[in-house]
A and B are shown apart, each in its own frame.
Chain A
């Protein structure tokens, strides 16, 4: 975080504000929701990454986390449910100098969006995916999602979830992601650092952030409020960098393994494309110039 030495008067600006559409505040998230916390970490990461923010684009799907795109002061896209990743694919391929970040939730990215997630990871598409996992479909009232652990009560599992849930970090690794990490909203410093790392890493990068949904998940399961969730994260999280992702499954009240699990270098989609084309076409290959002019 910033090392500025300054004397702050009481009307000084919160360092997160230059990165937000302040004309849209206050945001819609509930008291104790962790999405805003992840946004703080993201803005710190943007700042310390020293990227030209005119070249960072953010793409969200639908859901509470999906609203992040609307609040971030970047070229931002609030797309359809589950389809942030293919939108981001088109955006990146047409304008490769953009750093494209997908910021969406567990249901959006892994239920309806699951197919797109695995293919973008398989292709090692150069996009950064930040998944705020509050273990539920929050916006629509707290229904079961693919990440909701067993035995949890939800709006569509009033007698308790019995389906096995996804281990998102294992799925990401298996699909081919170049970078896989998990943190919680308690781990603000580590999360910021991970976000900064992926902003400088080529390839498909995935960060899962566990975050409280006090209004629905916590309340229905008598787990207290947002602060209780944060204390729970602090209590049961274990940092295990490099742990096998198969050992990182989440349960209702058990240990949460956090850390960086995968960090590998693979050629990304555009590198593979260019390489193949140059090999087969030689001089006849025209480097893609996809952006149209205004005439």
Chain B
């Protein structure tokens, strides 16, 4: 199906990433948002609060992130497409409910505009240090999808992708922005609504007697339902069987957590979202994401000018990690260079999947600003030696 024109601000705009992300949610069909103010993410919901009353939906500022992160899930089960927005400290608070969304297979979107951490850290300055937390932050075995836009345009486009993937896989999706991408202003083109593909919620066609809320279909994902339609269904955070009833035993646990992980396996290969530049002849590949990828782009140009065959593998879906692609590339390059606005997070995934077949060099940065391109270029030159 296509986007509802009511939510699509067609045109050529000059927007920052936060604002573009908000437009992305509206174009995707989000009509419920709950949030709590936290720099540098607040503008996303401020804009939503301003826009939604003339589109037809609800924004509620909840009393804390714990409330916001579960209010959106109540809204989803009432039939809405819903999201919340936060930054590091709020993301930490939301972790329990990200796990709840994962085990209940509630399609929803969490936007994290990353800032310096840990704790209160650097509220107004960028970092990318929540990447591992996005994957592992809640307790227990679960999987999520995480997307990393690197421009305001991508903040718009990928937010729509995020909502679509949430619906397709019945999973919470993390939009991992950073303060730089969120607060930089660039051209954002919003197309006509009939050019925007939307994945509809996979509401079941079965009758209430037949339908099982946690019975997977062929793609390992169960169909959805909403309250008020006579299904009399049950949703619980306890380990549950296909009826959704608590079934706390070893077999059910194994079946449930494995299926939740397996349903996202396509992202390790065929469904992975990435940008590959100059990989064909590359001897060194820079793996980066978010704002760092913009600096890395410049750095690889500078390296090429110095005679090093540098290429780029930009993570767009960072989780599940596109491990097959890294394994394939590792077979014919000398090294990976992984610049990140953290002390080394995604580099561990690259290392793990390169499995010693290529060198892996981390280019860490404690955050607060972006790398200088020279620093990344230097790392590329050394990697090529």
Contact = CB atoms under 8 A, between A and B. Distances in A.
B97 A83 contact: yes
A69 B58 CA distance: 26
Interface centre among B31, B63, B70, B96 (most CB of A within 10 A): B70
Contacts of B66: 82-83, 86, 116
A79 to B, nearest CB: 6
Interface string B94-124: 0011001000000000000000000000000
A24 B82 CA distance: 32
20 contacts: A21-B234, A69-B234, A69-B236, A70-B245, A75-B77, A75-B231, A82-B66, A83-B66, A83-B67, A89-B62, A90-B76, A94-B75, A95-B78, A95-B226, A286-B55, A286-B56, A290-B56, A290-B79, A291-B79, A292-B29
A-B complex: 8 closest residue pairs judged by Cβ atoms: A90-B74, A295-B200, A94-B78, A295-B1, A291-B79, A95-B78, A90-B71, A286-B56
B354 to A, nearest CB: 38
B355 interface: no
Interface in B221-247: 226-238, 245-246
B237 A80 contact: yes
A286 B198 CA distance: 22
Contacts, number: 174
Contacts of B73: 87, 90
Contacts of B82: 90, 94
Contacts of B78: 90-95, 98, 290-291
Contacts of B231: 75
A288 B56 contact: yes
A57 interface: yes
Interface in A63-101: 69-70, 73-80, 82-83, 86-95, 97-98
A3 interface: no
Nearest to B100: A80
Nearest to B67: A86
A292 B74 contact: no
A293 B57 contact: no
Contacts of A55: 228
Given A76-B234, A80-B97, A115 B228 contact: no
B74 A286 contact: no
A262 to B, nearest CB: 22
B48 interface: no
Given A80-B237, A289-B57, A290-B75, A90 B70 contact: yes
A42 B71 CA distance: 25
Interface string B45-88: 00000000111111010111011101111111111111000000
A119 interface: yes
A47 to B, nearest CB: 16
B296 interface: no
B30 to A, nearest CB: 9
B156 interface: no
A90 B232 contact: no
A89 B67 CA distance: 9
Contacts of A291: 31, 78-80, 226
A273 interface: yes
B75 A70 contact: no
A288 B71 contact: no
A95 B246 CA distance: 26
B71 to A, nearest CB: 4
B271 interface: no
B234 A292 contact: no
A209 to B, nearest CB: 23
Interface stretch (A158-166, A251-259, A277-285): A277-285
A86 B71 contact: yes
A140 interface: no
B162 to A, nearest CB: 15
Nearest to B246: A70
Interface residues of B, number: 55
Nearest to A269: B60
Interface residues of A, number: 48
B197 to A, nearest CB: 10
Contact of A119 (B29, B67, B74): B67
Contact of B235 (A54, A76, A88): A76
A94 B32 contact: yes
Given A76-B233, A78-B236, A295-B198, A287 B56 contact: yes
Contacts of A33: none
Interface in A144-201: none
Contact of B74 (A70, A91, A273): A91
A94 B71 CA distance: 10
A54 B227 CA distance: 8
Given A86-B70, A116-B67, A292 B54 contact: no
Contacts of B131: none
Interface in B183-207: 198, 200-203
B346 interface: no
Contacts of B237: 78-80
A74 B227 CA distance: 9
Given A94-B80, A286-B6, A78 B58 contact: no
B34 interface: yes
A245 B77 CA distance: 36
B77 A77 contact: yes
A69 B244 CA distance: 12
Contact of A289 (B56, B62, B227): B56
A88 B70 CA distance: 9
Given A86-B74, A90-B70, A292 B80 contact: yes
A59 interface: yes
Name which of B29, B32, B202 has the most chain A CB atoms within 10 A of its CB. B32
A290 B32 contact: yes
A71 B142 CA distance: 27
Given A89-B74, A94-B78, A294 B200 contact: yes
Contacts of A79: 70, 100, 237
B67 A94 contact: no
